[in-house]
Amino acid sequence: MSPLNRRRLLTGTALAAVAATAPRPAWAGVGALNVADGFAGVTALGQNGTTGGAGGQAVTVATAAALADYVGRKEPYVISVSGRIQTGDEMLTVVANKTIVGVGSTAEITGGGLQLGSTTRPGNNVIIRNLRFTNASDDSISVTNSAHHVWIDHCDLSDGYDGLLDVKRNSDYVTVSWNHFHHHSKAALLGHSDTYTSDKGKLRVTYHHNFFDGTDQRHPRVRFGEPVHVYNNYYRGNSLYGVASTMDAGVVVEGNYFENVAHPVLSGYDKSGPGRVVERNNIYAGSGAPETLGAVVEPRTYYSYSVDDPASVPRLVTAGAGVGRVQGVA
């Protein structure tokens, strides 16, 4: 964010009026039903799973000014977003140890997006849940600049300018779960570019129980990352492709349901060289055949998990993905 726009956001008394210190909500810790799983739950890089702002002060925000201020503070915070926040066309930088969660089913960030990490301020240990993102001028959520241990869960993302949810530039240990992606072309990029080879050995991401609902591409589109674990997602009417593994990435695709997807799984895409793909126990309803190539490091090397019957995925995911469905969120 430019200094001028930041000054505009923090002008006047609005910040004090809308950011109220509140008792710590019951869901703010990492409880039995609120634990980051997949790669975000792995102990690595000095971080014991992903806990966000647990242990920090709980606040409620209702304006862009308050949101920009609290996500950029160095201390841990649990930040509840109330109502619809118009951020202009800015990406708000989120720094380490934050939980950002929507209140009820109407919390929304529109116009801009959230960028986790900058070149000088890490965006590690961040949780984003139960938020709607619309009309972003760039990405809706960007996990970048070596951010690690990030959990993005039960969000609704649509109608932005670029990607709905990008993970790139040496980021690692991320889980994307139970989100609804719709009314957009580019859903979930993983890996900055074909020439950004420093992503090798990083970009370990889990995607599970997401609803890729009519989005065209990038579910995800992977460069270099291994292992990338894509399981129990529901793909419906994705016109270009479902999953694409490129640039020697290693992707495990299992237990997903592909409905009317002509190219459900690709090895290589456009000008990007082929990546490795292992697929197993997926359902391809009215869809083409998957492409597979080579061997991939097993996700169980890092964490344990169970896979739902892929035949149940459309029912489970349409009932559970998106906002307003997280137990314990007021």
Tell me if 126 is assigned to some domain: yes
> Mean pLDDT throughout 130-136?
95
- Is 329 contained in some domain? no
| Domains in the chain, number | 1
Residue 32 in domain: no
Residue 46 in any domain: the answer is: yes
Q: Is residue 271 part of a domain?
A: yes
**Which are the catalytic amino acids?**
218
Is position 19 within any domain?
yes
Res 16: pLDDT: 34
- CATH number at 19 reads 2.160.20.10
Q: Would you say residue 328 lies in a domain?
A: no
**Mean local confidence (pLDDT), 68-79:** 98
19 pLDDT higher than 90: no
Domain that holds residue 164: 3-27+37-320
Bigger pLDDT: 322 or 26? 322
User: Does residue 325 fall inside a structural domain?
Assistant: no
> pLDDT (tens digit, 9 = 90+) per residue, 244-295?
999 999 999 999 999 999 999 999 999 999 999 999 999 999 999 999 999 9
319 conformational bin, left if phi > 0, alpha if psi -120 to 50, beta if neither: alpha
